[in-house]
Amino acid sequence: MNLIGVGSFGSVYKGILEENGTFVAVKVLNLVHLGALKSFVVECGALKNIKHRNLLNMMTACSGVDYHRNDFKALVFKYMENGSLERWLHPNPKPSLNNEPTQKLNFFQRINIAIGVASALDYLHHQCHIPIVHCDLKPSNILLDAEMVAHVGDFGLAKFLLGSSPDTVANQMSSIGIRGTIGYVPPEYAMGCEVSREGDVYSYGILLLEMFTGLSPTDDTLRDNFTLHNFVAKALPEQVLEITDHVLLQERENHLSPNSPQHWLSESDGIFQECLFIVYNVGVACSSEVPGRRMSISGAANQLQKIREKLFARGLHGQK
């Protein structure tokens, strides 16, 4: 079966181009769903003039009629061999024959993915001719290629920041409504504030905390309005290890071989905890409830790049 994913407005299938044998992912819109046609138009508009290493670039779009004379619209992308970040962070516990990942993301891979996503957002927010706000950043919308490079996809809810007038963005919002995914949507959107770069930064902060704690923002352990942001902020700085994904803790144990010199063990463990502390501080700063207090996306990328350089210099980068 070629079905590889189902979203709000349609389904994604794996296909192959006959002329050159290239594998592709075809997103077929379900036009019966309210908003699907608008999503198609928005995504085409957002993707037609942008190109970045960490974005899921569109190869082509299809618009016509199917065999039943119904409207047919689809988007064609390069196939991402390693699927979505969601599948790696929260794999299906049941055995699967659908090429589900069997290995886990190590610390260095997570840092690389986080830097890639930050770079993509910085490009969308500050380097495009017309700035673009993604509006639905989450693990299932981040795809990983064969080299585990992150590509931000699904621009069906994206907004263009046309000029400096907030009314321009507000009018776009009123026609489609505030949509996103619970847990990743910044709190100000629920109060009627216009979409903004800072809104994407909030979603990125939550994503970053999820990547290293292993907890989704809607996890059952987060109850009574206790958010992932609050959970991590409360644990800092003393409980860094207690809140970290057990997969990363196991990786730490594997690095701390009892046969290694004591000074090396102490240094490696110190670097591991220091890097975790920085990651969590970046995630907490990005996901502040107050938009004006959030770290810039370029600042977040710079902090994470320093972590990558430190890990690489100490030979702690593991498998890329």
Catalytically annotated residues: 136
Name the nearest CA neighbour of 124 among 292, 289, 297: 297
Residue bearing tokens 């990651």: 279
